[in-house]
Amino acid sequence: MAFSAIIAGDTLAKALEPVSALVDECKIRLNDDGIGICAVDAANVGMVDMELDASAFESYEATGGVLGVNLERLEDVLSMAESGQVVHFELNEETRKLDIEIGGLEYTLALIDPDSIRQEPDIPDLDLSGTYVFEGDHLDRAVRAADLCSDHISVDGVADDKLVFSAQGDTDDVDVTVERDDLPSGQLGDECSSLFSLDYLSDMKGPIGSDTKVSLRVGDELPIKLRYSLADGGVEVVNMLAPRIQND
């Protein structure tokens, strides 16, 4: 297995942020057309599938294979890069370590046995009736508003009309509505409602910029699927979040 690459530190840091929001270590798949990471948190509640295209690298060579990585340590190394500075990676096949060079800084990152890392999840094919596309600031506002009174958030699709985020606390309630005019594309679906952990959704929305186009697929008491792009389309991210089971 061989791997060498050069990439802007900012770009790689952005690509890893959706992953580290859920897990501390992961398998990085080295594909011909870039790298991919698919991971699920220990509670099987949140999932991420991230693809970083080879076109986002200044140089990219890989012969396939899987690297096991401690994300916290890798992100700490990337934090040493100044804005716009490139990072060089070279896999040492003899030591099974990753040599990283940033300017005059040289760092050798010990890799993890991929077999010791949690198995990658299968992405389920769900019957999600509605797809809503909107800008990231709507999601950010909804999460911040829900956090005022609750630790859960309900995502409700109103048939062929709008999307409503709501939360109910012990004494207070809040609704945030995304009207049809703010849903420029997508297929508005049937009436549906699901309840989710606010902490998970807050972590997932962290990497999403205010003007980032977000595709949200929803169903009735089903997981939601979030899809968005980063780094001028070089990074594609899909998140899935399982609903909270409501007791009758």
- In this prediction, residue 229 carries a pLDDT of 97
Tell me how far the alpha carbon of residue 246 is from its chain's centroid.
26
Confidence band of 204 (pLDDT split at 50, 70, 90)? very high
Q: For 70-116, what is each residue's pLDDT tens digit?
A: 999 999 999 999 999 999 999 998 999 999 999 999 999 999 999 99
DSSP three-state, residue 77: helix
Question: Which segments of 71-127 are extended strands (E)?
Answer: 86-92, 97-102, 105-110
- In this prediction, residue 61 carries a pLDDT of 97
Are 149 and 229 part of one and the same domain?
yes
Question: Which segments of the chain are extended strands (E)?
Answer: 3-8, 25-31, 34-40, 46-53, 59-62, 66-70, 86-92, 97-102, 105-110, 130-135, 152-158, 162-168, 173-178, 192-197, 213-218, 224-230, 235-241
Tokens of 68: 């096991």
Q: What pTM was computed for the model? A: 0.92
Are 107 and 157 part of one and the same domain?
no
Are 147 and 225 part of one and the same domain?
yes
Least confident of 130-134, 144-148, 197-201: 130-134
**Residues near 80 by Cβ (< 8 Å), separated by ≥ 6?**
102, 105, 107
Confidence band of 122 (pLDDT split at 50, 70, 90)? confident
Mean pLDDT of the chain: 92
- pLDDT at residue 187 is higher than 80: no
Domain assignment present for residue 165? The answer is: yes
- pLDDT at residue 248 is higher than 60: no
Domain assignment present for residue 246? The answer is: no
Unique residue bearing structure tokens 């995502």:
155
Domain assignment present for residue 248? The answer is: no
